[in-house]
Amino acid sequence: MKFSKYAISRMITAMLVLSWLAGCAVNPVTGRSELALMPISEAQEISIGQKTFPQVLQQMGGTYQDQALNAYVERVGQRVARASHRPDLPYQFAVINDSTPNAFALPGGPIAITRGLLVVMENEAQLASVLGHEVGHVTARHSVAGMQRGALLNVGLAVISGVAGDAAYGPLAQQAGQLAATLINNTYSREQERESDRLGIDYMVRAGYDPRGSVQIQELFHRKLEGGAEPSWVGGLFRTHPFSKERMLENQAYIQATYPHATAAAGLTFNVREFQQATASLRQKQKGFELYDQGRRLEARNQLPQAISTYQQALQAAPNEALIYTRLGLAQLKAEDLVPARRNLQRAVELDGNYYESRMGLGFALLQRNENAAAVRELELSMKLLPTLQGGYLLAQGYERTGERQKALTLYRNLAEADRGGKIGQAAAERVRALEGR
């Protein structure tokens, strides 16, 4: 293929620009320099994680409302993090109210594990292994690496600058939500997974845990794969953290070679008793959550009467679980059964007022009953927890009904810009034209 002098000149110019833009980022674990379109500093890394973590928690079902269990996971996580290469990062650990077995880490220290993964574990060493693996992703800056090479760089910089959290839901707020979703759905390379495996084992041993806990949890993963992994595993942990028998065997060999004397005699622990105590309430409610998941599947098939009945059974098995009340209320809204829907969504908010979908559902129910001022309060709280197109449109409707025309116009305009070509964006643009008399 022949290139014109002009084309060759353009390619050379582009290469020079890229070489001028590119810098080097140092991996804190290996000390190696890595090519980066724009290096992200540690302060920026921390900022990205802290600003996206609340949105991630909301997108995945909110924090599981068991303060004692969350405090326990935080203690174990901090114990492992202090033994890492970067002990001074502002690590946070949370239990997510989701049945899918999963765990993830964000840049700069936020780490979460789902109740669906916690409930299949048997001891604290297994928990320390999983959290140590996620700490390894943080210390080696695996999430940051893709951003530094250009992917999502502009969005990440917008989040860092602080302009992405517009309460009126502008396009940048939408981008921040997209960044949060992309970070938790990020699939690591095989080498990154192997590096985090080794780091996690090192960290858990330094923290005083028996590395055989890592062997146990990986043997569980292998059994899940060998038996034809259940959809919840394929759609969760195995999707973002590729696993293989070879990886498991490599880790076993690493433990045998590096920690041949790592046993109870060396002061290392599995800590079965404390783990069982900390997770006892969760395991007692497992039947209720299994029914909840069954209800979700029925609802997805639009079998609303059966879904509603199943959610009610779930509440009998797991009383006072806000997430189940939320889903029951939302299903009743779909069935246009407003009175029990409002009652159940109100109960969900009373039990856990920090989940956006409960607030949004209750706001919608109140709008349907023309309780507009109360609806606006709920919808504003929902948007503070997680700005969404749907919540924004409902809030704009609430502003219209309470006579706050300018607020409604501003929000409709932002929605129209954020969702150009989409149904909500088109509906919002239509409301702008109506309010402006065009």
The pair of structure tokens assigned to 122 is: 């048997």
Report, as an integer, the average pLDDT of 357-362: 98
pLDDT given at position 152: 57
Distance CA 286, CA 116 (A): 9
pLDDT given at position 225: 73
Report, as an integer, the average pLDDT of 196-215: 96
pLDDT given at position 90: 98
In this predicted model, what pLDDT tens digit does every residue of 46-85 receive, in sequence order?
998 998 899 899 999 999 999 999 999 999 999 999 999 9
The pair of structure tokens assigned to 64 is: 């599981």
SS3 351: helix
**Rounded alpha-carbon distances, angstroms, from residue 133 to 40, 197, 217, 224:** 22, 5, 12, 19
323 within 8 A of 61, measured Cβ to Cβ: yes
pLDDT band of 372, cuts 50, 70, 90: very high
**Rounded alpha-carbon distances, angstroms, from residue 209 to 23, 81, 126, 132:** 39, 13, 9, 11
SS3 95: strand
pLDDT given at position 240: 62
pLDDT at 310 over 80: yes
- Which of 29-33, 186-190, 322-326 is predicted with the least confidence, judged by mean pLDDT? 29-33
Residue 34 has what DSSP assignment?
E
pLDDT given at position 17: 39
In degrees and rounded to multiples of 5, residue 325 shows phi and psi of -60, -40
Pairing outcome for strands 92-96 and 103-105: unpaired
Report, as an integer, the average pLDDT of 399-410: 96
378 within 8 A of 366, measured Cβ to Cβ: yes
Report, as an integer, the average pLDDT of 173-193: 73
pLDDT band of 379, cuts 50, 70, 90: very high
Domain ranges of the chain: 5-35, 40-277, 286-435
**What's the topology of domain 286-435?**
1.25.40
Report, as an integer, the average pLDDT of 226-253: 73
Report, as an integer, the average pLDDT of 253-263: 90
Which residue is listed with tokens 């302009």? 163
pLDDT at 110 over 70: yes
pLDDT band of 25, cuts 50, 70, 90: low
In degrees and rounded to multiples of 5, residue 346 shows phi and psi of -65, -40
pLDDT band of 174, cuts 50, 70, 90: low
SS3 209: strand
Q: Please state whether 38 falls in left (phi above 0), alpha (psi between -120 and 50) or beta.
A: beta
Query: What are the DSSP calls for 98-148, one per residue?
Result: -SS--EEE-TTSEEEEEHHHHTT--SHHHHHHHHHHHHHHHHTTHHHHHHH
Report, as an integer, the average pLDDT of 84-96: 98
Both ends of the chain: CA-CA distance in Å? 55
Distance CA 426, CA 353 (A): 31
Report, as an integer, the average pLDDT of 174-190: 71
Report, as an integer, the average pLDDT of 168-185: 64
Amino acid identity, position 73: V
Number of other residues whose CB lies within 10 A of the CB of residue 261: 7
Distance CA 303, CA 409 (A): 37
Residue predicted with more confidence, 134 or 11: 134
pLDDT given at position 244: 75
pLDDT band of 188, cuts 50, 70, 90: confident
H-helix or E-strand spanning residue 377? helix 372-385
pLDDT given at position 394: 98
The pair of structure tokens assigned to 223 is: 């059994």
pLDDT given at position 53: 92
Residue positions counted in the chain = 438
103 within 8 A of 113, measured Cβ to Cβ: yes
Residue predicted with more confidence, 16 or 344: 344
Report, as an integer, the average pLDDT of 242-261: 88
Cα 234–Cα 237–Cα 239 angle in degrees, nearest 5: 55
155 within 8 A of 179, measured Cβ to Cβ: yes
The mean pLDDT of the chain is 86
Distance CA 213, CA 348 (A): 37
pLDDT given at position 160: 58
- Which of 203-207, 260-264, 265-269, 425-429 is predicted with the least confidence, judged by mean pLDDT? 260-264
Report, as an integer, the average pLDDT of 153-174: 55
pLDDT given at position 393: 96
Task: Return the closest-CA partner of residue 295 out of 316, 266, 280.
Answer: 316
Residue 92 has what DSSP assignment?
E
Residue predicted with more confidence, 158 or 225: 225
Report, as an integer, the average pLDDT of 400-405: 97
Pairing outcome for strands 110-114 and 103-105: antiparallel
Task: Return the closest-CA partner of residue 97 out of 355, 387, 391.
Answer: 355
In this predicted model, what pLDDT tens digit does every residue of 114-155 receive, in sequence order?
999 999 999 999 999 999 999 999 999 988 876 765 555 555
pLDDT given at position 164: 46
Residue predicted with more confidence, 41 or 377: 377
23 within 8 A of 39, measured Cβ to Cβ: yes
pLDDT at 16 over 50: no
Residues contacting 157, CB < 8 A, separation 6+? 38
Q: Which of 16-30, 143-157, 326-340 has the highest mean pLDDT?
A: 326-340
Q: What percent of the chain is predicted at pLDDT more than 90? A: 67
**Rounded alpha-carbon distances, angstroms, from residue 357 to 52, 178, 314, 322:** 18, 18, 19, 11
Task: Return the closest-CA partner of residue 192 out of 247, 135, 129, 140.
Answer: 140
H-helix or E-strand spanning residue 154? helix 153-161
Distance CA 279, CA 172 (A): 39
pLDDT band of 186, cuts 50, 70, 90: confident
Provide the whole-model pTM. 0.87
